[in-house]
Structure 1
Amino acid sequence: MTTTTPFAADTTLLSDVSAAVKTAGLTLRDRYTTHPRGVSLDEVVGEIHANDDAVLAVLREPLLAARPGSRWAEDELAGGALPAGEWWVVDPAEGNINHVHGLEDWAVTATLVSDNLPVLTVVHLPLTGDTYTAVAGGGAHLNGVPLTVSAKTDLGATLIGTGQAKPGEDERTFRRIGDSVTAMMINGLVVRVSVPATMQLIHVAAGRMDAFWQFSDVRSGLVAGALLVAEAGGTVTDLAGRPWTTASRDFLAAAPGIHTAALDVLATIA
């Protein structure tokens, strides 16, 4: 993934987006319990939608106001290219399923996408207060401190990850995930399989993990992490090795020293 838009100079926009996302995070934090909510599928889905609606009620308008002329990508589970121009791709509760089940891996994310490339992102973790930010050409940061990806060069020494992008994907995708996990277990050191994608990608950007791949194009789970990893010095492509955009069908973000080796392993998965 490559970005050319000089968003690094727009400190006001980053400040406004950060403030909006943190405020929205308070709403999501207030809805959190350490016990699971919902037993039936309908109850769990209802809790998920209630989280989304509560956060969007306080997040949508401030983001649109922060970037006049920008538009809103409505479906957070959608994939594929967006029309030309600037779009907000937001996940009001990234890791919503974790939130509803009393787990701690969830966040609020907001990413500005310009002509199908992420150019500014904020990922806020309300439970810890940590905020990850990145702007095209301006680097990636955690609470203002620069991030750098892993320096590893040996795939056999890596902690790498993948996960399910959304419920109800086709059987071929599920089988590819399983085959790829097996292949990476053979070639890597340890493989994490978890959701959501963003909560693994922040670790890749921070050098705590070495790579993350996904057989999916769900935009809201990838755009924030893609920009964070790229701006932290990582390599972000599709699984054919081409630069990643929202039009790409699959995804790999890795430390540059192991990207080619990871790509070679994943290329064997039909």
Structure 2
Amino acid sequence: MSETLQTEAVTTASDAHLLDQTVLAVRTAGSALRERFGEVAPYRTREELMDALAANDDTAIAILRPRLTRLRPDAGWVEDELDGGALPPGEWWVVDPAEGNVNHLHAMPEWAVTATLVRDNQPVLAVVHLPLTRETYTALAGAGAHLDGWPLRVSETSDLGLSIVATSQARPDEDEEVVRRVGRSITAMLRDALVVRTSVPATLHLANVAAGRAGAFWQFAGARADLFPGALLVLEAGGRISDAEGRPWTPQSSGFLAAAPGVHAEAVATLSR
């Protein structure tokens, strides 16, 4: 075995072990948030809402940050899960401690805990845990995507008109032009797709694409924590990732599209109207 292949094999083995340890950390944080889940959280002002969101985040981060830092002491930590754009070179933990936090506060079940290790702006491992169902999605670059150990594969459909598609609000208080662009895209997809779903969080839609349940997911603007874990799930399940115009996606892109290969071009055409 050449030196290069030996290095790649060691890295893959090391990342696989790291993935297992990341799963344990994320599940522990998810258990803590599950204990806080139940009734609709009371709030009367935007400030009280933000305080309640922060309390959930802090609960999970108190578990995740020390554990993930021990696993990768030299990796950076993204402080704000709503941040977008490229990261500096090197390794970074991109974590959403309560993705779909607003759903959690409203006693809705669509929320998760996610952790992604990003290396030179490429996600190399991702964990998405759904505490209420206790399901865990994982992806490792070059080694596939799985749901509780079972391999995931994107849909084989080649007809957008037979596909469930989805989009998600990128962030609160989004730029008005982005909001208008989202509205236009939903209208276009309502004409071309079977069913259009619009809800948060993004990662759960992307998990559905990776599992072959949905044909495509798109979003404009977007935060790294929204997109990195699901992007790796979809790629490792055989899907395609691009911007909304079909060009290679980067964290600086203004749009994002994840789709089964058979409907990707049709989805791009619809979003480009």
Q: Does TM, normalized by the shorter one, top 0.5?
A: yes
Identity of aligned residues (%): 56
Q: Which structure has the larger Rg over C-alpha atoms?
A: 2
- Select the residue among 59, 63, 83 that pairs with 1:58: 63
**Native 8 Å contact 2:245 2:271 kept in 1:** no
* Equivalent residue, structure 2, for 1:118: 123
Q: Which residue of 2 aligns with 1:158?
A: 163
Higher RCO (C-alpha under 8 Å, 6+ residues apart): 1
3-state DSSP of counterpart to 1:28:
helix
Give secondary structure in 1 for the equivalent of 2:252: coil
Q: Secondary structure at the match of 2:129?
A: strand
1:147 aligns with 2:152: yes
Structure 1 residue 42 displacement after superposition: 1.9
Report the residue type matching 1:54 in the other structure: T
How much has 1:109 moved relative to structure 2?
0.2
Corresponding position: 1:128 with 2:103: no
Q: What corresponds to 2:114 in structure 1?
A: 109
Measure the CA separation in 2 of the matches of 1:107 and 1:265.
30
Give 1:37's aligned residue: 42
8 Å contact 2:219–2:257 — kept in the other structure?
Answer: yes
CA distance in 2, matches of 1:228, 1:162: 17
- 2:228 maps to 223
Q: Is the 8 A contact 1:117 1:245 kept in 2?
A: no
Stretches of structure 2 that go unaligned for 5 or more consecutive residues are 1-7
* Among 223, 233, 238, the residue aligned to 1:233: 238
Aligned pair 1:172/2:177, yes or no?
yes
Instruction: State the TM-score, normalized to the length of structure 1.
Output: 0.95
1:210 aligns with 2:235: no
Q: Secondary structure at the match of 1:195?
A: coil
Partner secondary structure for residue 84 of structure 2: coil
Once residues 228 and 244 of structure 2 are traced to their aligned partners in structure 1, the CA distance between those partners, rounded to angstroms, is 16
2:24 equivalent to 1:19 = yes
CA RMSD of superposed structures (Å)? 1.2
Tell me if structure 2 keeps the 8 A contact 1:109–1:122. Answer: yes
Equivalents in 2 of 1:39, 1:212: separation in Å?
Answer: 33
Aligned residues: 264
1:67 is aligned to 72
Q: Which amino acid aligns with 1:248?
A: S
Residue 252 of structure 1 aligns to which amino acid in structure 2?
Answer: L
DSSP-derived class of the 2:133 partner: coil
CA shift for structure 1 position 158: 0.9
